[in-house]
Structure 1
Amino acid sequence: MWRTLIVTAGEKLTVKDNWLHVYSPQQEARVPIGDLYSVVVDNRQALLSVSVLTQLAGAGVHVLLCDDKHLPCAELLPLALHYRPLTVLQKQMTLSQDFKDLLWQRIVMAKIQNQAKALRLAGVGASKAKKLEELALRVLPGDAGNREAQAAKLYFPALFGAGFTRVQGDVTNAALNYGYAIIRSAVSKTVAGYGYSGVLGLHHIGPGNAFNLADDLMEPLRPLVDLWTDAHCDDLYEELTRTNRRDLIDLVNHVVVFDGKKMRVRYAIDQYVKSLTSAIEGQDAGLLHLPALTRDDPLFEDEQDG
């Protein structure tokens, strides 16, 4: 299983012979760079050089930097992982609005279906889950009619309580925001690896947003974070603890279903973006395959884990 390294105590990081060495006043540790999926720097006193960053990027590791509230605020994405980035970019730029609308329709349908699954797995709101499943079937190209927003009005109060809103500054929203940022970064890493420009979204078009495409593609995976937050509500206090953040980062190792097969989230993201490439090259939105929520299996062994 690939690892995510979390730096929290002002450590110094160096690279020697393809090993990442982590020094702290208490101990010294080292990790093979080839085993790393990402590095989360969650302490502004940590020291690492440009040389370390470039060697991590060269190995396909992405680096997340956190602010003083422990939220990811910047990331370093490897850019040299695809052999034909210009070809990919040209195809991405010439997508018609009608085709993008068909892709967005499939993404929103999958998101709402996963929201329904989250309610069922959480054991709450069975009637609301059924309504969401019915609503998913009525999503139109481009989500004309905004079924996504209609689903959210049913879904969040059913999962977190009638008084819950996404604008509250509470620990539940802090957990959601942190988890979403982790999923977004994992999707961004994969999008870059397949040669896509993150600026060019299918539905999200924020002119100041460098991650529009990741924001599109991550939507069906948001309920994974929602489900974790509900399951760990008794472990959430006034602010996220180091353990909370570590567990949210580890969501990339949870199990989902993709094409009828169980696999870890990070592998499913790779296959998901790969299927986007197939859909674009074949001009067939039906070739875009979406990850589906399932109950996590701590004993699951993925063949790609080695």
Structure 2
Amino acid sequence: MPKQTLVFESPVQLSVQNSMLKIAYKDDPDNVTLRAIEDIAIILIDNHSASLTTPLIGKLAEQNVAVVFCNERHMPSSMLMNLDANTLQEKYFRLQLDAPLPLKKQMWKNVVEAKIKNQALHLKSLGKKTRQTPEIRHWSP
């Protein structure tokens, strides 16, 4: 089963209960959920009123769960992850570093093109005029 990515955009209290992630919504105290920590890959926290307990951080590290914190612009600003046993993450970093330059350039091109297309779609959803096909100039870092 693929591991889950949990995104928290509302005020929550995250803690451990019976070796599981306990999610208590601050706005609705009766709304409490338990999740198996071993089924989680990433937790993304995008609310400055969210809180985590220290025992939970330890359990998440044991299970190689990355915790990403977003800033006030909803952009990732920091990350907690297990440095000792996270060999899978190290493998991905190594593959990215060792990728041949033409592949890196192609991937960068794909990222830039996707961002431009998404910006055009967003403008369209806001009722703004856009060109049908955004002009894409090829640039490589």
TMscore range, shorter length: 0.5 to 0.7
Distance 1:104 1:5, change over 3 A: closer
> What does residue 183 of structure 1 align with?
none
- Is 2:13 the counterpart of 1:12? yes
Q: Which has the higher strand share?
A: 2
- 2:126 alignment partner in structure 1: none
**Shift of residue 22 of structure 1?**
1.0
Distance 1:19 1:231, change over 3 A: farther
Question: Using a 3 Å threshold, how does the CA distance of structure 1 residues 80 and 109 change in structure 2: closer, same or farther?
Answer: same
**Cα deviation digits, residues 187-231 of structure 1 (max 9, x gap):** xxxxxxxxxxxxxxxxxxxxxxxxxxxxxxxxxxxx3xx354344
User: Structure 2, unaligned stretches of length 5 or more?
Assistant: 88-95, 124-141
Match of 2:105 among 91, 97, 112: 112
Q: 1:32 aligns with which of 21, 33, 36?
A: 36
Distance 1:13 1:105 in 2: 37
Map residues 178-189 of structure 1 onto 2, 5 A cutoff: none
Does structure 1 conserve the Cα–Cα contact (< 8 Å) formed by 2:16 and 2:22?
Answer: yes
Give a deviation string over 1:64-111, Cα, whole Å, max 9, x none.
11111111111111022169xxxxxxxxxxxxxxxxxxx978532212
| Local SS of the residue matching 1:56 | helix
2: distance between equivalents of 1:105 and 1:39? 28
- Contact 1:58/1:80, CA 8 A, preserved across alignment: no
Task: For residues 165-208 of structure 1, give each alpha carbon's deviation from its aligned partner in whole angstroms, at most 9, with x where no partner exists.
Answer: xxxxxxxxxxxxxxxxxxxxxxxxxxxxxxxxxxxxxxxxxxxx
For the residues of structure 2 that align with 1:9 and 1:67, how far apart are their CA atoms? Answer: 14
Who is 2:134 aligned against? none
Describe how 1:35-184 pairs up with structure 2 within 5 A.
Answer: 35-81=39-85, 106-115=99-108, 118=110
**Stretches of structure 1 lacking an aligned partner (at least 5 in a row):** 84-102, 119-222, 238-306
Q: TM-score, normalization: structure 1?
A: 0.33
Number of equivalent positions = 111
The amino acid of 2:104's aligned partner reads K
Please, which of 89, 103, 122 is the counterpart of residue 236 of structure 1? Answer: 122
Taking only the aligned residue pairs, the percentage that are identical comes to 20
Q: CA deviation at 1:16?
A: 1.5
Query: Which residue identity lines up with residue 39 of structure 2 in the other structure?
Result: D
